[in-house]
Amino acid sequence: MFSAPQRVLVLAPHTDDGELGAGGTIARLVEHGATVHYAAFSIAEESVPAGLPRDILASEVLEATAELGLSAEHVSTFRYAVRRFPEFRQDLLEEILKLRRSVDPQLVLAPASTDLHQDHRVICEEAMRAFKNRALLGYELIWNNVHFHGHMSIRLERRHVERKQKALARYRSQAGRAYVSAEFVEGHARTRGVQCGFDYAECFEVMRWVAD
């Protein structure tokens, strides 16, 4: 699998979602020569802690994705209001279609179909509409999933987990949230690894798999 996709697109409803759900896999894909593009549809200005610049996540996402090996030119951010994506569904689809044309990805990573967050569900559903002929995997954000269909496990090495931890540490505005802690990241990767006989892994829902 990792020798095949040379163009990968990560769809993140909000900055940090892509790293949280697939940071280790992104690091591994880059290591194997893939060009990874990352699009975050909200910089969550409404949710930034008091006393910090409203647009701080726009710079933090560049720092975080750089830790995973992404070039700044391959990172796009938008300013859709957090928790209001259902109101802008068609606009978001148009943004995704533009990314499909410009990136022409062979593999797309998006939130899983079982994600309960309204913004995440919109991005997942519109990705499924936009990428009918591309491989599409749903990443896991464990606190938003009561049920998760983990059809595919991707093996990670310790170095991939460490890069994910370093990426999430760049989100200084999110410090204190349990799911960005280094301990949680390692523990979850170990759990997913044990389930499939590896030291570490990330798990994905196969929403569509297209073999050429």
* Structural domains in the chain, sorted by start: 7-208 (3.40.50.10320)
Match 């349990």 to its residue by tokens.
Answer: 178
**Mapped to the 3 state alphabet, what secondary structure does 195-209 carry?**
HHCCCEEEEEEEEEC
pLDDT digits (tens, 9 = 90+) for 150-209: 999 999 999 999 999 999 999 999 988 889 999 999 999 999 999 999 999 999 999 999
Strands of 7-12's sheet in order across: 75-77, 35-40, 7-12, 107-111, 135-139, 200-208, 152-156
Q: Which residues pair with 110 in a beta bridge?
A: 138
Match 């996402």 to its residue by tokens.
Answer: 61
Give start and end residues of each alpha helix (H) in 5-81. 17-31, 56-67
Which pTM does this prediction carry?
Answer: 0.96
pLDDT 10s digit of each residue in the chain, 212 long? 445 689 999 999 999 999 999 999 999 999 999 999 999 999 999 999 999 999 999 999 999 999 999 999 999 999 999 999 999 999 999 999 999 999 999 999 999 999 999 999 999 999 999 999 999 999 999 999 989 999 999 999 999 999 999 999 999 999 888 899 999 999 999 999 999 999 999 999 999 998 76
DSSP string, 141-195: -GGG-SS----EEEEE-HHHHHHHHHHHHT-GGGTT-GGGSHHHHHHHHHHHHHH
Phi-psi bin for 49: left (phi > 0), alpha (psi -120 to 50), beta? beta
Residue 184 CB coordination number (10 Å): 16
> In this structure, are strands 200-208 and 152-156 parallel, antiparallel, or unpaired?
antiparallel
Using CA atoms, how far apart are residues 197 and 120, in angstroms rounded to an integer? 30
